[in-house]
Structure 1
Amino acid sequence: MIAIFSDTHSGDGHELEGEALTAVREADTVIHAGDFTSEAALEAVQSECDLLYAVHGNADSAAVRERLPTARTVEAGGVRFAVTHRRDGGETGLAMFGRSRDADVVVFGHSHLPTVTETEDLLLLNPGSHADPRGNRPGFAVLEERADGAALEGKICEPDGTILESFELAVSASSDGEDTAR
């Protein structure tokens, strides 16, 4: 399982609860698109999961910015993820960022709005914010391998497990674990 988060915005912990906390604890890989806000929040998320790939966001402290890149590329579950907090140019800028990294999915945050947008050649995924939704529904995303292994079934959920949106991603034969940070 791959769990995807963004916009924690916490001063002293992760504020994960319910199905969101379960997803972090059970995931093979956790991806976070930035704005932990504090080093304590980053460390709290790290303490709950086995493998965390994260970037920093615009609201992160200097200590978090020193520890995390602004963007990175990760391969997990046969899918290549380009991760950033935000990009100028909206959907076009995000898609260009993903294409420049040969990604299948661009994971981003910043707006706190849970969103899945399919473009011609990749998926743009904002998991929302489970802790600080700012007028949006709180959210996080989970991807799990389909029974036949040919795709990942994805969903954006609220912390209580309510599904906001479902989607599917084809799986390639790429190797898991590649991580490049820039």
Structure 2
Amino acid sequence: MSGPEPALEVERHVTLPAEVADMIAIFSDTHSSHGHALEAEALAAAREADVVIHAGDFTSVAALEAFQAECDLLYAVHGNADSVAVRDRLPATRVVEAGGVRFAVTHRSDSGETGLALFGRSHDADVVVFGHSHRPTVIDAADCLLLNPGSHAQPRGNRPGFAVLEETETGLEGEIRDPDGTLVESISVSTA
């Protein structure tokens, strides 16, 4: 791959111009010692997305850098299984405003759904992106949507997953998919 290096943003709060985020791909829990472990539709989504959000647990710098090489813009946090070198590069939490939606990103909450919803409210988020359980999950928490894309590479007894959201006139529409593209669950985030 030639050309400039893809950007890995380390700022904790990023607001992107609306025209930048027509497609957002969301991943978590790569758990790789050597690469991004992306394949099929998951790899295509990472390459085609205007913005990629990752909720942590790359595990290694090699996995983080391989992921970064596939994305135009990668906004990530570190997880509990990430090496010290990955933790040094990534924050534990961050806020990304993209596609007219405010995402609060963390790897996990020790207080479960309630803690995640409180985290979202404290950041005035429309969507809380989280990982850790490796279970694709969409929960309407009244004030915000809780979204775990699952793990595309290490599902640990769950269905493998990643999420893709596309901008519409009223917000974002999308779905959690298996890496082969099979629909797991639909997602709708209204900004109206």
Structure-2 separation of matches of 1:171 and 1:158: 26
Amino acid at match of 2:176: I
| SS class of match (1:136) | coil
CA positional deviation for 1:171: 2.7
- For 1:75, which of 76, 80, 97 is the aligned residue? 97
Amino acid at match of 1:117: I
Could you report, residue by residue, the CA deviation over 1:127-172 in whole angstroms, capped at 9, with x for unpaired residues? 00000000000000000123xx112112000000000000211136
- For 1:114, which of 131, 136, 143 is the aligned residue? 136
Kept in 2, the 8 Å contact 1:55–1:68? The answer is yes
- For 2:188, which of 156, 168, 176 is the aligned residue? 168
Which aligned runs of 4 or more in structure 1 are off by greater than 6 angstroms? none
**TM-score computed with the length of structure 1 as normaliser:** 0.92
| SS class of match (1:99) | helix
Kept in 2, the 8 Å contact 1:77–1:171? The answer is no
| SS class of match (1:31) | strand
| SS class of match (1:97) | helix
Residues 56-135 of structure 1 correspond to what in structure 2 (within 5 A)? 56-135=78-157
Over the matched positions of the two proteins, sequence identity in percent amounts to 76
Kept in 2, the 8 Å contact 1:33–1:109? The answer is yes
Q: Which segments of 5 or more consecutive residues in structure 2 lack a partner in the other structure?
A: 1-22
- For 1:48, which of 70, 91, 113 is the aligned residue? 70
- Give the match for residue 31 of structure 1: 53
Amino acid at match of 2:79: G
Q: Which segments of 5 or more consecutive residues in structure 1 lack a partner in the other structure?
A: 173-182
CA RMSD of aligned residues (A): 0.7
Kept in 2, the 8 Å contact 1:33–1:83? The answer is yes
| SS class of match (1:36) | coil
CA positional deviation for 1:88: 1.4
- Number of aligned residues: 170
**TM-score computed with the length of structure 2 as normaliser:** 0.87
- Give the match for residue 150 of structure 1: 170
